[in-house]
Amino acid sequence: MPRLSEFDLIARHFAPLAAPGGHGLLDDAATLAVPSGHDLVLTKDMLAAGVHFFADDPPDSLAVKALGVNLSDLAAKGATPLGFLLGLALPPDIDDGWMAAFARGLGDMAAAHGCPLLGGDTIRAAGGLTLSVTASGHVPSGRMVRRIAARPGDLLLVSGTVGDAALGLRLRTEPASAFSLGLPSAEAGFLRDRYLRPQPRTALAPVLLGLARAAMDVSDGLAGDAFKMAGRLGLDIRLADLPLSAAARAALAIDPALIETVATGGDDYEVLAAVAPADAGSYEAAARAAAVPVTRIGVFGPPGGAHRLLAADGSERRFARLSHVHA
């Protein structure tokens, strides 16, 4: 199949996804009207083949991941999506069928989260495929939910379930391990899909805006990210309280040592929130109303306090590392 020109590629695959402010993707810039009394929120995450994904991942899943990780940042900051820019560095083996599947995944994700395409750039890759998304959203002026703003005594809550994506990645990289061989295929499929297709918690954004003191999404690893959020404050995380999917529970039943992967593996894209104890009940109720489960997993301590992972008996667990580092 002949390689598409940049013009044809945009006209065929991307122009149908464009917001009005994208001007049909025929201009050099996009326009965006930010609601009055609101700040624009901007985030940018890049993904590279061989670092953040496998070159042979399904193209629609790459679109879901590239846009999803950026939407996840917006959600954790309490922002409502406005639109995104897409940068693509394409290796020569990308053909029209690949691009059609990629655009389909991108369009579905954009529609599901109300975040249309505004523009971008497509270049020839010097190495492998690289994706660079800039997503924009809005929050009431001065109200972006910050990463480092928890106070001593605040509770730590996390959305959804954790560890699934990291277990899904280990299924791929260690197909001969006991848990890879022992896990039923439905559970294995669930975990693999959680790695491939992160689902950003856009519905949680307004809840965070009203009730969270601080928040961030889990991209590098639950423990490492939560301790980043604590900054100079202490933080105790109770491992026995981590919310687990049925598939993750099945994996842990085969190999209990996988708790380390659950607690420190990346790519969950769930939202960690620091909530004042008096607001925790309201936060849980509002999250439930938004169809997002949330779970209390820890408590922040005083400045200079320790960052600890605690077992059910209250003893401290130490792992070799606290995050899965991509880059």
Q: What residues numbered 110-149 form the site for a second copy, per CB under 8 A? A: 118-130, 132, 134, 136, 139, 141, 144, 146-148
Distances (CA, A) of 171 to 124, 223, 268: 32, 21, 15
State which residue, 252 or 272, has the beta carbon closest to a second copy: 272
Least distance in angstroms from the C-beta of 271 to a second copy: 11
Which window, 19-27, 106-114, 241-249, 279-287, contacts a second copy (CB under 8 A)?
19-27
**Which two tokens mark 82?**
């406005």
* Count of residues in the chain: 327
* CA distance linking residue 246 with residue 194, whole number of Å: 13
* Contact predicate 227/298, CB 8 Å: no
Least distance in angstroms from the C-beta of 116 to a second copy: 13
State which residue, 60 or 217, has the beta carbon closest to a second copy: 217
Three-state SS at 39: strand
Report if residue 196 touches a second copy, rule: CB under 8 A: no
Q: Which of 15, 34, 100, 280 binds a second copy (CB under 8 A)?
A: 34
Least distance in angstroms from the C-beta of 42 to a second copy: 5
* CA distance linking residue 81 with residue 145, whole number of Å: 14
Going edge to edge, which strands form the sheet with 214-217? 214-217, 271-275, 155-159, 294-303, 233-238, 307-310, 316-317
Which window, 86-94, 195-203, 282-290, 308-316, contacts a second copy (CB under 8 A)?
86-94
State which residue, 216 or 251, has the beta carbon closest to a second copy: 216
Report if residue 36 touches a second copy, rule: CB under 8 A: yes
First to last CA, the chain: 34
Q: Which of 25, 106, 196, 216 binds a second copy (CB under 8 A)?
A: 216
Q: Cα-flanking dihedrals φ and ψ of residue 164, to 5°?
A: -60, -50
Cβ atoms within 10 Å of 24's Cβ, excluding its own: 11
> Where does this chain bind a second copy (CB under 8 A)?
6, 21, 23, 26-34, 36, 39-52, 73-74, 76-77, 79, 85-89, 118-130, 132, 134, 136, 139, 141, 144, 146-148, 216-217, 326-327
